[in-house]
Amino acid sequence: MKKFIWSFVFILGFFLLPLTSTQAASQEQSLVKEIKEIIQNTYVGTINGNLEKATSIAEIIDMLDPYSTYFTKQEFEDYMNSINLSTIGIGVVIEEHEDGIHILQVIEGSGAFDAGLEAGDIIIAINGESIIGRSTQETSSLLTGNEGSQVKVTLKDSNEITTTKTTKTITRKKFTLPNVQSELLFGHVGYISLASFSEDGAQLVKKALVDLKKRGAKSFILDLQNNGGGYVTTAEELTGLFPSAKVAYLLEEAHSSYTIPAVKQSTKFPVNTRILVNRYSASASEMLSASLKDQKAAILYGETTYGKGAMQGFYMLHDGSYLKLTVGKFTGPAQQTIHEVGVKPNIQTTTAPIFQAHFDAIKEQYPQYKKLSSGQTAFQAGKLTVKLPSTLVSQIDKGHIQLIALGADEVVATTKVEGQTLIITPTSLLSPDQEYMLLIHPKKQGKTQKGYYHYIKFEN
């Protein structure tokens, strides 16, 4: 019996191979006995039924939590191949949901992307067949297929109060999920996004960290939004990239508990690193977030996370198939419950957390600057106007004003002052969905003259 500790959200790429022969039926009874023994010894969770009287694998799985399931040998091989994040399907990352299967991420360029699917949409039927109550494996088998083939997907918007349904025909394509993306934002702020906790996830993040430091990054934002988890060993390695984080997580198994240390790393994020999370950040993402929050090793921004504080193990059975089983519950060092609760960020945001995180990272570089006291803002005819205090007008020098698109770079614009109004004319239109920062630098550096900053958000 071989065990793998794992906690990963499915990237669609599975093909179910049903057993139909008499020999297979006999083999299943042997597997049923083996599975029962493993569950009795290691399962952590409620068993909804009489395990001893169960006569099939499907019956047993129905008694367990949503994260425990069974793989045939082929399914398991396909599952492990999916770690490379390349497969044929509609191009979405999914997780179980009480109303069906909810989409955590849509891969750019995929069939789902072309059809207009979005993160947060809930799949309720496939080819007219309801998938409510189905596992991600079952849903995966319906969504995968030959390249170029089509599938009809019925969706319910998770934000809709009513039960409005939309059915879309999606073409299956080969797609690859870019696991780590990075860029240098305005103000020497390094941005790194991690899509999943793949086996090499920590190495990829570490490489991006080193590269951004070489490019001049002084502070960092690590984006875990829509990240459904992955290898817990990757979470242990990532925790080690933060200076004051010594503990990766606390684990409660069926018969024992452990304190799992972070894996020491030679390269470190700075202490002011900001972590972005949302309601779809789950499992290993929550493991890392809770650890960093509890140890004050980073600052969390965004929404309360998904609430999957359960860890699964993989057990190889005698025929080469696998049982995926919840074997423990984890928390951060402060022992606050994560399962079905989630991790609450230090700074909760109502819009994309990248805006506030980037704003704070820039502001941190100008500790002597003050918040613009009035700062009444309007946007008309392609121009941005900002009301200035009368005491500041004489200090304004149009060559010392910067408009920054938060989460991106400086906006090219011209500026002028008329009375007490600062008029900014960008070379391209500003977006109402974007948030901005205004930096008004002093004409001369010194103790008597200080700059100002202003947060700009368009009201709907």
* SS3 (DSSP) at 140: helix
Looking at every residue in the chain, the average pLDDT score rounds to: 87
CB atoms within 10 A of CB 46: 9
Residue 11 clears pLDDT 90, i.e. is over it: no
pLDDT at 212 over 60: yes
Task: Give the integer Cα–Cα distance in Å for 104 and 118.
Answer: 8
| Whether pLDDT at 449 is above 70 | no
| 309 or 98: which leads in pLDDT | 309
pLDDT, tens digit, for every residue of 66-124?
999 899 888 887 666 665 566 788 988 888 888 899 898 888 889 999 999 998 899 99
Over residues 420-438, mean pLDDT: 90
Q: Whole-angstrom Cα distance, residue 167 to residue 93?
A: 19
Which pLDDT score is estimated for 158? 53
Biggest CA–CA distance in the chain, Å, is 90
CB under 8 Å to 412, separation ≥6 — which residues? Answer: 426, 427, 428
Instruction: Report how far apart, in Å, the C-alpha atoms of 73 and of each of 3, 10, 184, 321 are.
Output: 15, 17, 43, 4
What local confidence, expressed as pLDDT, does residue 251 receive?
A: 97
Render 219-234 in DSSP notation, one character per residue: EEEEE-TT---B-HHH
Q: Judging by DSSP bridges, how do beta strands 452-457 and 370-371 pair with one another?
A: parallel
Of residues 107, 184, 185, 100, the one with CA closest to residue 142: 100
Q: How many CB atoms lie within 10 A of CB 412?
A: 9
17: pLDDT strictly greater than 70: no
**Looking at the predicted structure, is the pLDDT value of residue 430 above 70?**
yes
- 400: three-class secondary structure by DSSP: helix
Asked whether the whole model's pTM tops 0.75, one would answer yes
pLDDT at 300 over 60: yes
**Using CA atoms in the order 150, 154, 158, 162, what is the torsion angle rounded to 10 degrees?**
160
Conformational region of residue 226, where left means phi above 0, alpha means psi within -120 to 50, and beta covers everything else? left
Angle of helix 201-214 relative to helix 232-239, nearest 10 degrees?
A: 30
351-405 pLDDT per residue, tens? 899 999 999 999 999 998 999 877 688 887 778 888 888 778 777 766 689 999 9
